[in-house]
Amino acid sequence: MSARRATIADVAREAGVAASTASVVFSGKTPVSAPTRERVLAAAAALGYTGPDPRAASLRRGRSGIVGVVFRDRLGTAFLDPVTTVMMDGLADAVADVGAGLLLLRDDDGAEPSLNAAPVDAVVLIGCSVGMRDSLDVVRARGLPVVVIEGDAGDGVPQVRLDNREGQAFIAGHLRDLGHREVVAVTLPAGPRRHAGWLRDPAAISVDVTRDRLAGMHDVFPAARAYATMGSLVDEGYAAGRAILATHPRPTAIMAQSDLLAIGVLRAVVDAGLRVPEDLSVTGFDGIAADGIAPRVLTTMVQPAAEKGRAAGAAITAMLAGAQAPTIRLTSTFRRGDTTGPPAG
């Protein structure tokens, strides 16, 4: 029990070899004779040495093996939507391939741990909207590789995006083909200052995903109204559904911008004594939350959420290897469930 922890130099001395030899035993970068390895390992065990200090190693190698992930929301909020969760899973897998881990960071200014002082090799920005400019500035000033998921960071920053507009337009087309004319959208949050209610000015939406999906609906139903929520939550969808059902004319279809919202809408519709899809059709977006409405199947766009994370991870990996990563556009696929049908009457 010494006062300070053993270093590789101590181990080398104990084993009667040079420090560099001991180093190689642990890194495996160069062949070492069996007897020498034995001695080094024995010395390490005797001294309670458990391997190179990660801090020193990362200084020396210029890599920490850590990828920062910056969220706009609190963690508790961000992870409430399975789509984020699954994406993180994919991201974790992808960076694990290069031995990297994920460090959780928030966009909040002044928040600790600040992005400036975190020992990260690269950064992933999630849901990059106006508010994320600060994080982006820091990242660029530090010269770190960066990838943006579902957001636009402008000039030369690789993105991983979904065909949000096309996807939503596809669903809208599906409804139009069924004969629907009076359609209402239930949207994700429109900006950093959240509040629920009818959206007056679609042009003022600062969140890319919300804007794009709404644009997709408007491609097909230019005059459709939209009701904004404060987050992708079942209960938000429920509240929006109730509010919409209280207005006239009552729509024949409600397009939610996420499955979670759609589930809430569905519940509000059923609670109002209406049948789905006979009286009202409901659609979602994401294709994640099968959980919660079984045995019903939501009509929705299934997005490759895990793939999104993996693509971001691959981009990071490429940039770390010195290559340039391209912007990646993933596509969602239509899934027809049993929540849509021809309008009544």
Partner DNA sequence: TTGTACGCGTTATCAA
Partner DNA sequence: TTGATAACGCGTACAA
Burial state string for 199-231 with b = 16 or more CB within 10 A and e = fewer than 16:
beebeebebbbbbbbbbbbbebbeebebbbbbb
CB 340 within 8 A of CB 174: yes
The least CB distance from residue 331 to its own copies, in Å, is: 21
Cβ closest to DNA, residue 20 vs residue 247: 20
Q: Which does 318 bind (CB under 5 to 8 A by kind): DNA, its own copies, none?
A: none
Q: What's at 21, amino acid-wise?
A: T
Q: Which DSSP letter does residue 65 get? A: -
Segment 266 to 285, residues that bind its own copies, using CB under 8 A? 267, 271
- How many CB atoms neighbour CB 163 within 10 A? 17
Under DSSP, the state recorded for 119 is -
Residue 205 vs 306, nearer CB to its own copies: 306
d(CA 258, CA 311) in angstroms, rounded, equals 21
By C-beta, is 61 or 204 nearer to its own copies? 61
Which of 76, 156, 222, 345 is the binder for its own copies (CB under 8 A)?
76
Q: Which of residues 189-218 bind its own copies (CB under 8 A)?
A: none
Output the smallest distance, CB 62 to its own copies, in A.
8
What single DSSP character describes residue 250? Answer: P
Q: How far is the CB of 129 from DNA (least distance, A)?
A: 31
Cα–Cα distance between 222 and 216 in angstroms, integer?
9
Cα separation, 18 vs 7, whole angstroms? 13
CB of 11 to DNA, least distance (A): 7
Q: Which stretch binds its own copies (CB under 8 A): 175-183, 228-236, 243-251, 321-329?
A: 228-236
CB 157 within 8 A of CB 326: no
User: Looking at this protein, which amino acid is placed at residue 218?
Assistant: H
Decide if residue 113 touches its own copies (CB under 8 A): yes
Nearer to its own copies, 102 or 178 (CB): 102
Distances (CA, A) of 168 to 1, 172, 210, 227, 345: 65, 6, 11, 16, 25
* By the rule CB under 8 A, 246 interacts with its own copies: no
Q: In whole angstroms, what is the distance from residue 14 CA to residue 7 CA?
A: 11
Q: How far is the CB of 44 from DNA (least distance, A)?
A: 10
| Span interacting with its own copies, options 13-21, 80-88, 125-133, 173-181, rule CB under 8 A | 80-88
Q: How far is the CB of 56 from DNA (least distance, A)?
A: 3
CB nearer to its own copies: pick between 96 and 344: 96
Minimum distance, C-beta of residue 64 to DNA, in the bound complex (Å)? 12
Could you say whether residue 86 binds its own copies (CB under 8 A)?
yes
β-pairing, 281-283 vs 183-187, is: unpaired
Shortest Cβ 5–its own copies spacing (Å): 7
The residue among 111 and 204 lying less far from its own copies, judged by its C-beta, is: 111
> What number of chain residues touch its own copies (CB under 8 A)?
65
- Using CB distances below 5 to 8 A depending on partner kind, what does residue 169 bind out of DNA, its own copies, none? none
Shorter beta-carbon distance to its own copies: residue 205 or 266 = 266
Q: Report the C-alpha gap between 262 and 300 in whole angstroms.
A: 9
By CB under 8 A, name the one of 33, 35, 116, 156 that touches its own copies: 116
Neighbours of 340 (CB within 10 A): 22
Residue 301 bridge partners (DSSP): 334
